[in-house]
Amino acid sequence: DPNVMLSFRFSPYRARQRLLMVRDVSRLTRLEQMRKDFVANVSHELRTPVTVLIGYLETMLSSGDEKLARYQRPLAQMQAQTKRMSAIVDDLLLLSRLDDERTRLAQEEVDVPSLVCMMVEDARILSGEAQHQIEAEIETQVGLSGAPKELQSAFWNLVSNAVRYTPTGGQITLRWYIDTQRQVRFEVRDTGPGIEAHHIPRLTERFYRVDAGRSREVGGTGLGLAIVKHVLERHGGYLDIHSVVGQGSTFACVFPPVRQTAPRAASNKSA
C-alpha cells in the first residue's frame, strides 16, 4: 500500500499504528468466522433432535390412543412449537450456507415466469379465508441464471410476507419485468399496513421485527428478509424496499442488467 510506505518514510509512529490496525482487522475477521461456524454448528446439531421430536409427536397425535386423548391440546401445541423451531433451524442453516463464501451455489437457468405463476397458486392457498386478491404481471419471458432452490426460497419469503401481513381482502401483486435501466426485477406489492421509514434499513437484520408480537402471531422465523438479502447478494443483486404507512409495501429483488435485448412478451395477467 503506497500510503503505508509513505507514512513509514515520514513518520514511523504512524506506520506502526497502521500496522496494528491491520492486525486488529484480521482478528475481527477471525472472530467473525468463529461466530459463523458456531451458528452453523449449533443449527446442524439441533436438526436431528428437532426432527425426532416432530416424528414422535406426529405418532402420538395420530395414534388414536385413548390414554392420550386428554393430552391432545398440549401435544398439538408442542407440535406447532416444534415445527416453528424446525423452521428457525432450517433458516439458520440456509443463512450459514449463504454466508459462507466457500459454499458453491448451483448455476442453472431458472424459468422465473413459471415460478411466479406457481407462487400465485401457493399464495392463494396460504391466503385461505383471508381472500386476498392475488395476481401476477409477467412482462418479460427472460429467465435468470442462478441457484433455483435459493431463489425460490427468497421469492417465496417476500410473497408469504405479503400474504401474512396484509389484512383480509387486501391486494397482492407479483411482477416480473425489466426496468428502465434494463435490470430484471421480481416485485411483490401489497396493500398491507406499510412500514415506517426508520425501520426499513434494519429489516434485513436477523430477527429484526417491526412488531415482534404481531410477527410471532403470523408465524415467521424472523430470518426471511435476511435470507432474501443474502440470496440476492450471491446473485449480484439487491433488495429494494418502498413502503407507505397505511397504504402498503413493495419489495423488489433487483438483478444485474440483461445483456441481449430480449423481446418483451405481452402483459400476461392472471387474475
Q: How far is the CB of 243 from ligand ADP (least distance, A)?
A: 7
- The region, left, alpha or beta by phi > 0 then psi within -120 to 50, assigned to residue 182 is left
CB-wise, 178 or 193, nearer to ligand ADP?
193
CA 267 to chain centre: 27
CA 64 to chain centre: 38
CB-wise, 177 or 208, nearer to ligand ADP?
208
CB-wise, 14 or 206, nearer to ligand ADP?
206
Q: How far is the CB of 121 from ligand ADP (least distance, A)?
A: 19
- Residue 211 in contact with ligand ADP, rule: CB under 6 A: yes
Site string for ligand ADP, 219-238 (x = CB under 6 A): -xxxxxxx------------
- Residue 115 in contact with ligand ADP, rule: CB under 6 A: no
| Cell, residue 227 | 435470507
Among 15, 39, 61, 210, binds ligand ADP (CB under 6 A): 210
Which residues lie closer than 8 Å to 265 by C-beta, 6 or more apart? 138, 139, 140, 141
For the chain, how long is the longest CA-to-CA vector?
Answer: 86
Q: How far is the CB of 15 from ligand ADP (least distance, A)?
A: 44
- Residue 262 in contact with ligand ADP, rule: CB under 6 A: no
Q: How far apart are CA 241 and CA 250, in angstroms?
A: 6
Question: Could you tell me if 136 and 189 are in contact, meaning their C-beta atoms sit under 8 angstroms apart?
Answer: no
CA 204 to chain centre: 8
- Residue 91 in contact with ligand ADP, rule: CB under 6 A: no
Question: Could you tell me if 140 and 184 are in contact, meaning their C-beta atoms sit under 8 angstroms apart?
Answer: yes
Among 215, 237, 239, 254, binds ligand ADP (CB under 6 A): 215
CA 249 to chain centre: 16
Among 82, 140, 155, 165, binds ligand ADP (CB under 6 A): 165
Nearest residue to 191 (alpha-carbon basis) of 110, 135, 256, 151: 135
Site string for ligand ADP, 183-202 (x = CB under 6 A): -------x-xx-x-------
Where along the sequence are the contacts to ligand ADP (CB under 6 A)?
A: 157, 161-162, 165, 190, 192-193, 195, 203, 209-211, 215, 220-226, 249
